[in-house]
Structure 1
Amino acid sequence: MNLQGIVAVSGKPGLWRALAQNKTGYVLESLDAQKTKLIANLSTAKLAALNEITIFGLEDDIKLTDVFGRMKDAASVPAVKDDGKKLREFFYTVAADHDEEKVYSSDIKKIISWFHILKDMPLFSEEAPAAPVADEAPAAEPEKEEAPVAEAPKAKAKKAPAKKA
């Protein structure tokens, strides 16, 4: 899934797509039907890119994209307003090794609500852009020793004599 450019803004519900960047922050557009525009000032708003979010795990942190992938493969995803125990049980099926003490029920509700927003979007089914892989370098030529280049002496700047007033 390609979650590049999708962010969550602290204090704002839902998810946002980063459209552009200006001097003070980002121009964002909501992913809901209203397509609300927002200018997020970096000095006051906290932005979290979905492709960089991790969930506390018992041994290692779990990437949110991995959890979304397991949720996509799950038979049914509960609604956000379902019972907290039901949500926690479902979350154990998609992120079995999450840290129960550090992952709160509000976090689970937020992740499930994000999934419901993203599941029908085309970006959710497309592949993430892979990092460019460097091709193998051609056979290295034997290195030639180069003579050290002597540095030219730096010219000293002369100060103009001070004018008397």
Structure 2
Amino acid sequence: MNLRALVSVTGKPGLFKLIGQNKGGFILESLDEKKVKSTVNLSTTKMATLEDITIYGEEDEIRLLDVFQTLKESGKETPDAKADGNTLREFFREIAPGHDESRVYSSDIKKIISWYNIIKDLPLFEEEAPAPIQQ
């Protein structure tokens, strides 16, 4: 799975694809149907690649990539991201067993489900992740 160029931007809904860099910051393209391009200045905005995001676990952190892979392989239909907290929590217990229920909030689960729904039909699951750069 290759999610290296996909990012979440603090304060902005949805997901973005990193497409370039200029003097003002990074150039992003939204992954929703509008395909809007914008520039983000990293000195004022936080950005995280999906590849680097983890979820609190009872023992170890759970990589978001692993949750997405489990969702894809299970073939389960995701609940509506606007469903009540109990429905989301029950679903997430199946998909991410061992997550720390006291630190993973319903809002986190909603965000993960909405992100998955954005990327599930993209060819990202078939692409291999690039090898890490050796120094």
The answer to whether the superposition gives a TM-score over 0.5 is yes
Match of 1:94 in 2: 95
Q: How far has the Cα of 1:26 moved from its partner?
A: 0.3
Give the secondary structure class of the aligned counterpart of 1:39.
strand
What CA deviation, in whole Å up to 9, does each residue of 1:22-55 have, x standing for no partner? Answer: 2331000001111101100011110010000000
Larger RCO (CA within 8 A; separation ≥ 6):
2
Match of 1:31 in 2: 31
1:104 to 2:105 alignment: yes
Match of 1:116 in 2: 117
Q: How does 1:137-152 map to 2 (within 5 A)?
A: none
Give the secondary structure class of the aligned counterpart of 1:26.
strand
What CA deviation, in whole Å up to 9, does each residue of 1:131-155 have, x standing for no partner? Answer: 478xxxxxxxxxxxxxxxxxxxxxx
Question: Structure 2 CA distance, aligned partners of 1:34 and 1:48?
Answer: 21
Between 29-38 and 18-27, the greater mean CA deviation after superposition: 18-27
Q: How far has the Cα of 1:127 moved from its partner?
A: 2.1
Match of 1:149 in 2: none
Question: Structure 1 CA distance, aligned partners of 2:23 and 2:61?
Answer: 33
Give the secondary structure class of the aligned counterpart of 1:93.
helix
Q: Percent identity?
A: 57
Between 14-23 and 59-68, the greater mean CA deviation after superposition: 14-23
Q: How does 1:42-81 map to 2 (within 5 A)?
A: 42-74=42-74, 75-81=76-82
Question: Structure 2 CA distance, aligned partners of 1:44 and 1:104?
Answer: 26
Answer 1 or 2: which has greater helix percent: 2
Q: How far has the Cα of 1:128 moved from its partner?
A: 1.5
- TM-score under structure 2 length normalisation: 0.93
Q: How far has the Cα of 1:83 moved from its partner?
A: 2.1
Q: How far has the Cα of 1:21 moved from its partner?
A: 1.3
Tell me the matched-pair count: 133
**Who wins on radius of gyration, i.e. which is larger?**
1
Give the secondary structure class of the aligned counterpart of 2:121.
coil
Match of 1:5 in 2: 5
- Letter aligned with residue 101 of structure 1: S
What CA deviation, in whole Å up to 9, does each residue of 1:92-149 have, x standing for no partner? Answer: 111111111111100000000000000001123322123478xxxxxxxxxxxxxxxx
Give the secondary structure class of the aligned counterpart of 1:70.
helix
- Letter aligned with residue 118 of structure 1: I
